[in-house]
């Protein structure tokens, strides 16, 4: 592989730090143009000293000797020196920088699923217009990407879900779950927001919408199956009945590396060799939409389209923050999102400005609803 120039938005987060581990392991395959983070400037400074990017950006004031500080994420994303940008920040801040990079012809390795949930139609059509690749980092979508050879012959996508920490708990356990219990994911160590989404299974809901946009499949052709061991990362069923799945020990290093080195596969960070006999069993079960109604909300929002998914995302994010702040219970995340969704007047083909307006309005309405609880 020719040396690639890369920038990382969200280098101080769970995906960002693992991406730097991958890049370190790959040695001279990458040159880092810019690293960007939010408020953890101490870590960003350390990363800048070690990886020596040309530029850094942080949401808080920062300065590192020998590295230029930029004033916005847009500045990073409009620098055509970049071959690829890894968008690994969480929440809605990923959307504008992603669009800027696309319009500058820069390929995207996309971890930030909220970008596609909020504006998948616009992002994918701009990517097509500018001839830019959107390479999935999310493990399920990376798995599907790895399984697809001839997309026209794929009948159905099958997304696996670990089921999170409450998989076999009762609905009352879920209703009374503490923040600590919700943050204790059995398989993955991730940022706080996505970990709560994994506990309510809203994460799977967001991933269904993400898959719809990335691969262009109708919602009827995207299935979810619970697979607690997180070994099968997702699968596709071809029209001849053959099912191709991607397996591996749970590690985000693999999908991160596959996205940033695509279409090549290079040697990576491998802690141990894969053994079917050690794993011994792989279980699969139907998701329980009564216990985890957020999945159904996401299917409904996806099928409705337009700003329905903007509403879903904004209400969910605010409700998750309120849960983490101890203001509402875990199950209230669903109740709150459902209320906002049912009264939202959908705009069918929104512009980016309309998307941000709806996002802002829904966040305000969600906070009002929660404070009136
Ligand atoms: P984290 O919360 O661990 O990291 C978020 C990153 O975004 C941090 O680097 C944070 O910086 C940065 N950030 C926050 N605000 C700003 C800002 N204003 N400007 C620039 N950067 C900012 O999240 P994760 O790494 O877990 O997740 C990132 C994205 O990837 C999410 O969209 C998530 O859904 C997705 N994803 C994550 C997976 C995982 O395994 N973690 C798996 C699949 C998808 P700081 O810490 O310095 O404030
Ligand atoms: Mg995932």
| pLDDT of 186 above 90 | no
Domain match, 274 and 315 both? no
d(C-alpha 113, C-alpha 288), whole Å? 23
Domain match, 295 and 160 both? yes
Domain match, 221 and 337 both? no
pLDDT tens digits, 247-265: 999 999 999 999 999 999 9
Task: Please give the share of the chain, as a percent, with pLDDT higher than 70.
Answer: 100
Report in angstroms the alpha-carbon separations of 83 from 86, 132, 201, 262, 294: 10, 10, 34, 12, 37
Using the Cα atoms of residue 276, residue 278, residue 284 and residue 288 in order, give the sign of their dihedral.
negative
Domain match, 213 and 94 both? no
Q: Print the domain residue range for 362.
A: 305-373
Domain match, 344 and 283 both? no
Domain match, 284 and 369 both? no
Tracing tokens 């810019």 back to the chain, one arrives at 34
Domain match, 234 and 367 both? no
What stretches of the chain show up as alpha helix (H) in DSSP?
Answer: 14-25, 41-51, 73-77, 95-103, 114-129, 139-147, 171-175, 179-182, 192-200, 202-215, 253-261, 276-279, 294-304, 308-324, 332-343, 352-372
Where does a domain end: 283, 301, 319?
301
Which of 330, 312, 106, 286 is CA-nearest to residue 212? 312
Query: Is residue 59 packed enough to be buried (19+ CB in 10 Å), middle (13-18) or exposed (0-12)?
Result: middle
Q: Which ligand is nearest to the CA of 159?
A: 2
Domain match, 180 and 282 both? yes
Domain match, 218 and 78 both? no
Where does a domain end: 89, 120, 136?
136
Domain match, 280 and 353 both? no
Which residue's alpha carbon is at the smallest distance from atom 42 of ligand 1? 138
pLDDT value at position 189?
A: 84
pLDDT tens digits, 20-60: 999 999 999 999 999 999 999 999 999 999 999 999 999 99
CATH code for the domain in which residue 113 is found: 3.40.50.720
Where does a domain end: 91, 121, 136?
136
pLDDT tens digits, 89-147: 988 999 999 999 999 999 999 999 999 999 999 999 999 999 999 999 999 999 999 99
Mean pLDDT over the full length of the chain: 97
Predicted confidence band of residue 194 (pLDDT cuts 50, 70, 90): very high
pLDDT tens digits, 286-332: 999 999 999 999 999 999 999 999 999 999 999 999 999 999 999 99
| pLDDT of 81 above 90 | yes
For ligand 2, a single-atom ion, the residues with CB < 5 A are: 138-140
Query: How many structural domains is the chain composed of?
Result: 3
User: Which atom of ligand 1 is nearest to 10's Cα?
Assistant: 9
β-pairing, 134-136 vs 107-110, is: parallel
For 299, the 3-state DSSP assignment is helix
Domain match, 47 and 180 both? no
CATH code for the domain in which residue 365 is found: 1.10.1740.10
Which residue's alpha carbon is at the smallest distance from atom 39 of ligand 1? 190
pLDDT value at position 280?
A: 95
Domain match, 147 and 250 both? yes
pLDDT value at position 327?
A: 97
Q: Which residues touch 371 (CB under 8 Å, ≥6 apart)?
A: 327
| pLDDT of 188 above 90 | no
pLDDT value at position 270?
A: 87
Would you list the DSSP string of 90-156?
-GGGGHHHHHHHHHTT-EEEE--THHHHHHHHHHHHHHHHTT--EEE-SHHHHHHHHH-S-GGGEEE
Which of 19, 111, 141, 183 has most ligand 1 atoms within 8 Å of its beta carbon, as the pocket-test mutant?
A: 111
Q: Which ligand is nearest to the CA of 74?
A: 1
Report in angstroms the alpha-carbon separations of 359 from 140, 208, 221, 230, 322: 26, 20, 28, 32, 17
């Amino acid at each position: 592989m020719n040396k690639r120039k890369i920038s990382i938005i969200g280098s101080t987060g769970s995906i960002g730090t693992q991406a730097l581990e991958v890049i370190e392991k790959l040695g001279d395959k990458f040159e880092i143009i810019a690293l960007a983070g939010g408020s953890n400037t101490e870590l960003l400074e350390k990363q800048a000293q070690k990886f020596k990017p040309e530029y850094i950006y942080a949401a808080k004031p920062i300065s590192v000797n020998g590295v230029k500080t930029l004033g916005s994420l847009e500045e990073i994303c409009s620098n055509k020196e970049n071959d690829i940008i890894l968008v690994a920040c969480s929440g809605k801040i990923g959307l504008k920088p992603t669009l800027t990079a696309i319009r500058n012809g820069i390929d995207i390795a996309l971890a930030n699923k909220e970008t596609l949930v909020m504006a998948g139609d616009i992002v994918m059509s701009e990517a097509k217009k500018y001839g830019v690749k959107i390479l999935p980092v999310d493990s399920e979508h990376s798995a599907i990407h790895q399984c697809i050879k001839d997309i026209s012959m794929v009948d159905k996508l099958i997304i696996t879900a670990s089921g999170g920490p409450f998989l076999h708990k009762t609905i009352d356990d879920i209703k009374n779950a503490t923040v600590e219990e919700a943050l204790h994911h059995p398989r993955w160590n991730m940022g706080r927001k996505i970990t709560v989404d994994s506990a309510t299974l809203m994460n799977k809901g967001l991933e269904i919408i993400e898959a719809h946009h990335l691969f262009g499949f109708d919602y009827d052709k995207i299935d979810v199956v619970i697979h607690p061991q997180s070994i099968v990362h997702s699968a596709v069923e071809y029209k001849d009945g053959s099912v191709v799945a991607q397996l591996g020990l749970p590690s985000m290093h693999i999908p991160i590396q596959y996205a940033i080195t695509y279409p090549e596969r290079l040697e990576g960070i491998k802690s141990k060799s894969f053994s079917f006999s050690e794993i011994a069993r792989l279980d699969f079960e139907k998701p329980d939409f009564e216990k985890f109604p957020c999945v159904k909300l996401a299917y409904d929002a996806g099928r409705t389209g337009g700003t329905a998914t903007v509403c879903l995302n904004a209400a969910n994010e605010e409700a998750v923050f309120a849960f983490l702040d101890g203001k509402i219970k875990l199950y209230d995340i669903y109740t709150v999102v459902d209320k906002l969704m049912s009264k939202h007047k959908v705009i069918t083909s929104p512009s980016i400005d309309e998307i941000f307006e709806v996002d802002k309005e829904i966040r305000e309405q969600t906070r009002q609803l929660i404070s009136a609880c």
